[in-house]
Structure 1
């Protein structure tokens, strides 16, 4: 994506050679040529915007299903949308999709239920007409009902998308199960087979593909060819030249510059989110503080709000000293599934993302942490920085215990010896309690708030 955006930015810069062209004598000007270049550039920018919108759509689907928001998830589909999971058959239409998802439990966040489905590793291709698309994703799942079971899940999505009235929707969601295994036994000892179609809610059509999950091997068909040995033809849709006057071209190119800038903002924000995780992993507190705005704040695990660079740096000492010997330290914080909303002026942004952390100390303890971030960002002197860093921890779970048997516990809370500048802004409880971190965005299809 970075290379594509740079290329587009270069194209815009080249196209903006229009200034020199405008200075030429009137009888030597060739506005249709430049107009066609501007139209082609607009098409390419729209393609990248479509890819971003589809990634956002699928990631939002994951955040909705995490919290059993089945109605909101079903509303992401087109009216004729389909869902197929494992060997359970095909369900057609939003109502049927909603009912199928409901086989996983009641609507809305439920106590004692963990249903995290991370949407990872997207490969998205938009059709030349910009109206349909296909996407391949990895899904990494942690599922549990407290005191009953806990399991890991892996699978591959091969999805189809459709743009209706300018809005991207899921046309077909096909989850191919790679593996499900009980947490306690693990995939080296035990595997859960694909479930058969439901007798309680029979599908509308039988499964489209017959296969078995791990330990059997099955390669999910790719919707694309090898991009190196069989590159797609570079045809592209026909481009119709738009503006043809110098003034109209200037207006068009200025708008395209702004759109490229917003695309680049998304790239930079996603990069910043990744950098945050790498600094966390090795207690690089000065570097981590350096990616905050001087007036930024941090609020983690109900420890309260720390405001300003000095307080952010002080907060980070709660997780270990930067000078500590890091032999045996495990503090990996992997940042996944960003849903990024950049303000129209490109000066501020919001991001929902998730973290999966592998934490511990050699011969002392090991644990998992899962959580959801709802962060704010600000652009200062052209550089994106964290304005507000807030994580809602879903769980802290000892590796040797797992989600089925974990003893309920509260978030860490305020440390009296290193107090915050302000109390927690939004109290929450962790699994096995239920909590829905507020979404900063409206539903991308209905436009309604989801609460």
Structure 2
């Protein structure tokens, strides 16, 4: 039995296969990036900082933005995770210590992969429960304490030699709050950076001025446009003026100036 296909049928089938192939590439890439970030979360929960660092691209544009500091390149990534965090949280080891809690819940992830660039962007919400057990040593930095933390990631990822890696990790914590009172007792349970590297041997390569926690409620810019109108949110709508005051009286909107660079 033979099937007589017209040239137009072949052309239509070819176009359909191409569309499906492109859709599969995009969906697969977004799934891989989602898994990559959640794996990052599981590693950082347990202070596996060597494994965390290995998730980052060996690229000149690689950085981690944390609190008011930016750690640049793989050297900066290692300085933050393997040196600073490991030293201060787990005494320099790779892995957890008894009585130290750092659970990161990752949710509401929106992943967008552009196959033409080999890069992806992600917005992911984080809710962290952190603190120490009463049995922990009195010499532990910060002592006996527990707190909550909420924030959002706006990250970029890159295909490096066929493997997805983190290119730019931007984490914006919105609030810290005590375990007992939540954001009613909002304060910086993790201190801000005061000096850059090398003045601070474990400090960031760059200090960021545009950073503050609760009650600041300015919007972290979205990497995506509105799904219906295809427009970006207006800059003044991302500000947070006082009650019944005009946006012109409020601090400037947050900005991300190096997307896609």
* SS in structure 1 of the partner of residue 58 of structure 2: strand
Select which of 419, 423, 430 maps to 2:213. 430
Select which of 78, 98, 118 maps to 1:313. 78
The verdict on how the C-alpha distance between 1:265 and 1:407 changes in structure 2, with shifts beyond 3 A counting, is closer
Indicate whether 1:297 and 2:63 are aligned: yes
Runs of 5+ unmatched residues, structure 1: 1-26, 33-241
Distance 2:132 2:176 in 1: 15
Distance 1:325 1:373 in 2: 23
Distance 2:37 2:203 in 1: 26
Give the drift of 1:311.
Answer: 1.7
Give the drift of 1:436.
Answer: 1.6
Indicate whether 1:420 and 2:204 are aligned: yes
Distance 1:445 1:251 in 2: 26
- Checking the alignment, whether the CA contact within 8 Å between 1:408 and 1:431 is kept in structure 2 is no
Distance 2:43 2:170 in 1: 16
In the TM superposition, what are the counterparts of 1:24-43 in structure 2 within 5 Å? 28-29=2-3, 31=5
> What do residues 112-139 of structure 1 show as CA deviations (whole Å, max 9, x unaligned)?
xxxxxxxxxxxxxxxxxxxxxxxxxxxx
> What do residues 260-311 of structure 1 show as CA deviations (whole Å, max 9, x unaligned)?
1101111111111110100101111111111110122111111x22122222
Indicate whether 1:276 and 2:40 are aligned: yes
Select which of 23, 27, 35 maps to 1:263. 27
When structure 1 is superposed on structure 2, of 337-346 and 260-269 the one drifting more is 337-346
**2:107: which partner in 1?**
336
Give the drift of 1:433.
Answer: 2.6
Indicate whether 1:362 and 2:133 are aligned: yes
**2:248: which partner in 1?**
none
Aligned-residue CA RMSD (Å): 2.5
**1:191: which partner in 2?**
none
- Checking the alignment, whether the CA contact within 8 Å between 1:261 and 1:346 is kept in structure 2 is no
Runs of 5+ unmatched residues, structure 2: 135-143, 239-261
**2:122: which partner in 1?**
351
Distance 1:323 1:386 in 2: 20
The verdict on how the C-alpha distance between 1:435 and 1:369 changes in structure 2, with shifts beyond 3 A counting, is same
In the TM superposition, what are the counterparts of 1:6-405 in structure 2 within 5 Å? 28-29=2-3, 31=5, 244-245=9-10, 247-295=11-59, 296-302=62-68, 304-316=69-81, 317-319=83-85, 320=89, 321-323=92-94, 326-345=97-116, 347-363=118-134, 364-405=144-185
Aligned residues: 213
- Checking the alignment, whether the CA contact within 8 Å between 1:409 and 1:430 is kept in structure 2 is no
The structure with the largest strand share of the pair is 1
TM-score for both structures, normalised by structure 1: 0.44
**1:98: which partner in 2?**
none
* SS in structure 1 of the partner of residue 111 of structure 2: strand
- Checking the alignment, whether the CA contact within 8 Å between 1:333 and 1:357 is kept in structure 2 is yes
Distance 1:447 1:248 in 2: 29
Distance 1:329 1:375 in 2: 27
> What do residues 183-210 of structure 1 show as CA deviations (whole Å, max 9, x unaligned)?
xxxxxxxxxxxxxxxxxxxxxxxxxxxx
Give the drift of 1:324.
Answer: 6.7
The verdict on how the C-alpha distance between 1:410 and 1:432 changes in structure 2, with shifts beyond 3 A counting, is farther
Indicate whether 1:439 and 2:203 are aligned: no
Distance 1:428 1:263 in 2: 34
